[in-house]
């Protein structure tokens, strides 16, 4: 690794000391690493961004049980409840629990997509034979606002017969 210019290195070390960062993180930031920082960016801003990413665990490894196939499905299975099932229509309820919340306490966007996929496939299964394979080919989600911790919501899915199969989440 090549050293950064002395002035920049001292700024990084001072920022690390003032924010009580780990020695390994400070050493990485004070030397040139795989992360490239624009010369136009002030070092203290780069430190703030690095602190944010370290805080959310961007370099952390997933536990083995979460790295397994369908780990997210296993997390959602106990939280999603089918309230009503009819041919081509399904209503489910769901409560936001900390296990699927983001760092701000709201429902994680990936969990929203996983719920939409699971309910879509369940709805399709009401009109498609069991021996046929089902997959969700395309999914479009608009995030309007976050669902907070312990918030509950209903998912109404209706199969609409058109030239293409189209599923609409009503709530």
Q: Give the predicted TM-score (pTM) of the model.
A: 0.55
CA distances from 20 to 16, 25, 26, 37, 51 (A): 6, 10, 9, 21, 10
Q: Could you tell me if 157 and 88 lie in one domain?
A: yes
CA distances from 49 to 29, 45, 53, 109, 125 (A): 11, 6, 6, 21, 45
**Which pLDDT does position 171 carry in this prediction?**
41
Question: Is 161 among the domain residues?
Answer: yes
Cα(32)–Cα(50) distance, integer angstroms: 14
- For residue 80, which of 108, 118, 107 has the smallest C-alpha distance? 118
Using DSSP, state whether 156 is helix, strand or coil.
strand
Q: Could you tell me if 109 and 37 lie in one domain?
A: no
pLDDT by residue (tens digit) across 21-30?
Answer: 555 555 555 5
Q: Could you tell me if 72 and 138 lie in one domain?
A: yes
What are 24's two structure tokens?
Answer: 């390994």
- For residue 128, which of 167, 154, 93 has the smallest C-alpha distance? 167
Residue 144: CATH number of its domain: 3.10.129.10
Cα(154)–Cα(92) distance, integer angstroms: 6
pLDDT by residue (tens digit) across 55-100?
Answer: 777 777 777 776 666 666 667 878 888 888 888 888 888 888 888 8
pLDDT for 33 beyond 70: no
Please count the structural domains in the chain.
2
Q: Could you tell me if 49 and 72 lie in one domain?
A: no
Q: Could you tell me if 44 and 116 lie in one domain?
A: no
Q: Could you tell me if 51 and 70 lie in one domain?
A: no
Question: Is 159 among the domain residues?
Answer: yes
**Which pLDDT does position 103 carry in this prediction?**
81
Which residues span the domain enclosing 32? Answer: 6-55
CA distances from 61 to 56, 64, 65, 74 (A): 12, 9, 11, 19
Q: Could you tell me if 78 and 47 lie in one domain?
A: no
């Amino acid at each position: 690794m090549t050293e950064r210019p002395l002035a920049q290195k001292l700024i990084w070390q001072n920022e690390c000391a003032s924010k009580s960062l780990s020695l390994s993180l400070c050493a990485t930031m004070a030397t040139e690493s795989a992360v490239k920082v624009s010369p136009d960016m002030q070092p203290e801003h780069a430190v703030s961004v690095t602190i944010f990413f370290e805080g959310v665990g961007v370099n952390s490894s997933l536990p083995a049980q979460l790295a397994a196939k369908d780990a997210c499905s296993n997390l959602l299975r106990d939280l999603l409840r089918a309230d009503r099932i009819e041919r081509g229509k399904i209503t489910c309820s769901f409560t936001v629990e900390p296990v699927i919340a983001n760092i701000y306490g709201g429902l994680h966007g990936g969990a929203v997509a996983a719920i939409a996929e699971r309910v879509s496939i369940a709805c399709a299964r009401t009109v498609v034979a069991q021996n046929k394979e089902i997959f969700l080919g395309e999914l479009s989600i608009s995030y309007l606002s976050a669902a907070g911790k312990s918030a509950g919501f209903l998912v109404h899915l209706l199969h609409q017969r058109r030239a293409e199969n189209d599923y609409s989440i009503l709530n």
